[in-house]
């Protein structure tokens, strides 16, 4: 079920967003699926999503001119990255923190990309109307 939802989101982004944004949204969606829903995921696999999430947060920051969402997401990504540095913190947070944090970060970013694509569709419909 999640694979079909991921595939439909990827197709939606490919059709509705312009080149660079579409590629970033697809990369973020694919790495999110791989990190959270892959049964063979390892703890270091979550490092893969840091790059597309960081780039998406930078794009969000630039397009929305900062804001609370970009600030919260950047701090959450930073804290998630630091969660494996200290052994005691890592042992306490190991089985549950990274999937929850990545779901929060990627879910909000995918929602933002979805809203941008939908905004483009609505604006295109008005221009042709």
Number of compact structural domains in the chain: 1
Neighbouring C-beta atoms of residue 55, cutoff 10 Å: 15
Q: Which domain holds residue 98?
A: 2-123
**128, part of any domain:** no
Q: What is the pLDDT of residues 65-111, one digit of tens each?
A: 888 999 999 999 998 888 878 888 888 888 788 889 999 999 999 99
Q: DSSP class of residue 65?
A: T
CA distances from 61 to 33, 42, 52, 58, 70 (A): 24, 30, 14, 5, 6
Q: What is the pLDDT of residues 19-48, one digit of tens each?
A: 899 999 999 999 999 888 887 777 777 788
**44, part of any domain:** yes
pTM for this one?
Answer: 0.84
């Amino acid at each position: 079920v999640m694979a079909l939802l991921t595939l439909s989101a990827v197709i939606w982004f490919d059709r509705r967003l312009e080149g660079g944004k579409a590629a970033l949204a697809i990369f973020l969606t694919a790495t999110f699926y791989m990190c959270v829903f892959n049964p063979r995921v390892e703890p270091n696999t979550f490092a893969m999503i840091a790059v597309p999430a960081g780039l998406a947060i930078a794009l969000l920051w630039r397009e929305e001119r900062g804001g609370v969402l970009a600030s919260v997401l950047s701090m959450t990504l930073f804290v998630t990255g630091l969660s494996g540095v200290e052994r005691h913190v890592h042992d306490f947070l190991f089985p549950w923190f990274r999937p929850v944090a990545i779901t929060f970060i990627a879910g909000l970013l995918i929602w933002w990309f979805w809203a941008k694509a939908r905004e483009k569709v609505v604006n295109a419909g008005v221009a042709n109307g």
